[in-house]
Structure 1
Amino acid sequence: MKAKRRSENQIMEEDSEALVRRLLPRHWVMHEYKPDYGIDFVVEVFDELEGDAANFETAGEIFYVQLKAIKSPEISEVEKYGRSNVEKYENYPDTAESVVLEVLKFRIDVPLLNTVLLMGNATPVLLFVCDLTNDKVYFVCLNDYIEKILYPEKPNFRSQQSVQLEIPTSNILAGRDSENLEILRLFAKRSKFYAEFAKFSYQRHELQYIQAYSILLRFLDINMMYDFWKKPSIWPAINRMPSRMKAVKEIIEELKDLEDKEKIGFGNVFGELDWCSSEEESLSYFYKRNEIFRLWDELANLGNVHEEIVREWFLPTVLAEMCR
């Protein structure tokens, strides 16, 4: 007589989920995906309320997880050569520049990668590989691995049944106080980043048509409202932008007062500057006006930096190792 049975794979799945829950902050929420068609969990980030350690609020940031369990990790050293930016150039290795990286080799089904492609880059999907023998969890962003590693090196990978990934062993969950949790938070912010990159580019384009400084203040007030400026990030450019925006806002407010007094709007730069009492005063005006353009150039460039550099930070490449 046969009774209900449990397989080793089922037990490993449960053990891997328990391990991830133990290593992630306990106030983060793992929403289980049922039925599972390639995505196992959505992780929602929560933050401790200021001055209230007993309660937490959602950060509005999520990332998706495909969870895999292994008992015998295949870890080895691989030599990686430098290369040009694969977004703009062919993938020609530079043998004069190389690094030796320790990686976990893991084979993954191509249909799962196709699912990730369909979801788009604004939806971060992380592969968590749980080493149940050593209680370790390695991670890599599949969206980035596909575009920055697989496609440049194996353009026809989608015709295969499976491909082997190389996950840097530095990409590891090491506990609830680990600095690597900030890497996960960076991925969780991605949908916010992509939305604001589009906003910044739109605003920069519209500067050529704006006539009044009041519109610039509206643009800036909207930008400064976003919460990702308010929390320290492992991306230094994000940390410096709040002070830049605050400084330029003071300039805009000063020039708006001048606009009200002298009727010199943002779009009248080539008009008569009769109100200037000296050449130094007119140069100061143009300098301040130029600072406005510089700020929006920097904001619009964040999307370019993210695409060319940030998305490669945690992959097995020379650039990623240099950035570490």
Structure 2
Amino acid sequence: MPKKQRSLNQVKEDISVRVLREKLPLEWVVHSYGADYGIDCVVELFDFIGEDKKIAETLGENFFVQLKSSDCIEYASRKVYGRGNVTKGSLTEDKSDCTKIQVAKFQLDMSDILTVQSMGIAIPVLLILVDTNTERAFFICLNDYIDKVLIPEDPLYASKGSKTIYIPTANEIFNEESALVALRAYGKRSKMYGAFSLFSYQLTEIWRIQGRTAAPHNIPLEQAVDMIKTFLDIALRQDIWAGHEFWQPMQWSHRELLELKEKLSRGVKNEDYEQFLTYCSDYIWHRLTNLSNMYEELVREWYMPTYLAMLTSYLPQEENHESDQLNTDKLN
């Protein structure tokens, strides 16, 4: 009777798990996901509290991982073209506007792709590919890849048995803070979508008291100001404002909310009632709700193998990590 044996695939899986843990901050936790149904693990983000860094506190942020490994990854150049917004229409490309992206190619089973698609876009699933020869690790957000790359380029993708995923080699994971910005941004995604929904609700209610909806609800100044104060407190309580140095619109909106809080502390005069409501709806909450539009059109295309991603996701090449092949440090 033969002794217990391990397959080469099992060895590679162990290597990939070890490499992933080494690439991530020590304080982050990698939770195994049990039987493989398309998700291998969940990464939960923690940050140390205190200068001594003896205690780490959860951020309430996480992302799912499909962890893959290979000792024969094909590295190649992928041509990408300027193109129209695929969120608003079918793919149109400008063949005169072309650049090349260095990518790692991986063949992913359609069952894995469809599993991720069925999960929606609020909780990101990252395909992390480990080269077991070099122990380099690369990431791509599959939720975004499906919507921004796969479907526009191949609308009949679901009829295929598998699809080649193109992962920019610039998306390399390093255990350095500047190189972890993208992963931190993905960890915040579910919070962001929750906040977007909240801001939309609040704006609609402000429109109601302005008489700008099908079911208006006129209320006196004192009650309206109280409602705005409540909306403001709830908006500021959302755990989305810190750690967004990579996306300035978040910083702008946070600053505007704080300015509104300061204005409210001085009171609102009766003669300024209508102007105050207009300021809230057409400036403060208009910009808050527009965050979701920008997130869909721009942020979800960050780190994709596309022309727009190359323009918006990385620092200039001369500022790259010294050990990387391309620009990998952080979002603009």
Aligned residue for 2:54, secondary structure, equals: strand
Aligned residue for 1:223, secondary structure, equals: helix
Structure 1 residues 155-181: Cα deviation after superposition (integer angstroms, max 9, x where no partner): 11011110001111100102x214231
Which residue identity is paired with 1:34? G
1:173 aligns with 2:161: no
Match of 1:183 in 2: 182
Q: Is the 8 A contact 2:70 2:132 kept in 1?
A: yes
The CA RMSD measured in Å over matched residues stands at 1.5
Q: Is the 8 A contact 1:130 1:138 kept in 2?
A: yes
Taking the aligned partners of 2:176 and 2:153, their CA distance within structure 1 comes to 36
Taking the aligned partners of 2:181 and 2:75, their CA distance within structure 1 comes to 24
Taking the aligned partners of 2:200 and 2:26, their CA distance within structure 1 comes to 37
> Offset of 1:232 from its aligned partner?
3.8
Q: Is the 8 A contact 1:182 1:233 kept in 2?
A: no
Match of 1:292 in 2: 280
Structure 1 residues 176-199: Cα deviation after superposition (integer angstroms, max 9, x where no partner): 214231100111111101111000
Q: Is the 8 A contact 1:213 1:265 kept in 2?
A: no
Taking the aligned partners of 2:96 and 2:285, their CA distance within structure 1 comes to 38
> Offset of 1:236 from its aligned partner?
1.7
Q: Is the 8 A contact 1:248 1:291 kept in 2?
A: no
Match of 1:203 in 2: 202
Match of 1:235 in 2: 247
> Offset of 1:2 from its aligned partner?
1.3
Structure 1 residues 40-64: Cα deviation after superposition (integer angstroms, max 9, x where no partner): 0000000111445100111000100
Match of 1:312 in 2: 301
Match of 1:282 in 2: none
Aligned residue for 2:290, secondary structure, equals: helix
1:159 aligns with 2:159: yes
Match of 2:327 in 1: none
Runs of 5+ unmatched residues, structure 2: 210-218, 315-332
Taking the aligned partners of 1:6 and 1:156, their CA distance within structure 2 comes to 38
Taking the aligned partners of 2:272 and 2:36, their CA distance within structure 1 comes to 57
Taking the aligned partners of 1:227 and 1:71, their CA distance within structure 2 comes to 40
Match of 1:27 in 2: 27
Aligned residue for 1:207, secondary structure, equals: helix
Match of 1:97 in 2: 97
Which residue identity is paired with 1:250? E
- Larger-Rg structure: 1
Which residue identity is paired with 2:206? L
Taking the aligned partners of 2:94 and 2:177, their CA distance within structure 1 comes to 34
Q: Is the 8 A contact 1:82 1:98 kept in 2?
A: yes
Match of 2:119 in 1: 119
1:214 aligns with 2:202: no
Taking the aligned partners of 1:233 and 1:60, their CA distance within structure 2 comes to 19
Distance of aligned partners of 1:289 and 1:207 in 2 relative to their CA distance in 1, 3 Å threshold = closer
Aligned residue for 2:53, secondary structure, equals: strand
Taking the aligned partners of 2:188 and 2:252, their CA distance within structure 1 comes to 17
Taking the aligned partners of 1:188 and 1:84, their CA distance within structure 2 comes to 28
- TM-score, with structure 2 as normaliser: 0.86
Aligned-pair identity in percent equals 38
> Offset of 1:36 from its aligned partner?
1.5
Taking the aligned partners of 1:96 and 1:203, their CA distance within structure 2 comes to 44
Taking the aligned partners of 1:158 and 1:126, their CA distance within structure 2 comes to 19
Aligned residue for 2:178, secondary structure, equals: coil
* Bigger mean CA offset, 26-35 vs 96-105: 96-105
Taking the aligned partners of 1:245 and 1:315, their CA distance within structure 2 comes to 32
1:303 aligns with 2:267: no
Taking the aligned partners of 1:317 and 1:248, their CA distance within structure 2 comes to 38
Distance of aligned partners of 1:50 and 1:213 in 2 relative to their CA distance in 1, 3 Å threshold = farther
Match of 1:321 in 2: 310
1:142 aligns with 2:142: yes
Which residue identity is paired with 1:13? E
Q: Is the 8 A contact 2:46 2:57 kept in 1?
A: yes
* Bigger mean CA offset, 87-96 vs 56-65: 87-96
1:251-262 equivalences under 5 Å are 251-256=263-268, 258=269, 262=270
- TM-score, with structure 1 as normaliser: 0.89
Which residue identity is paired with 1:296? W
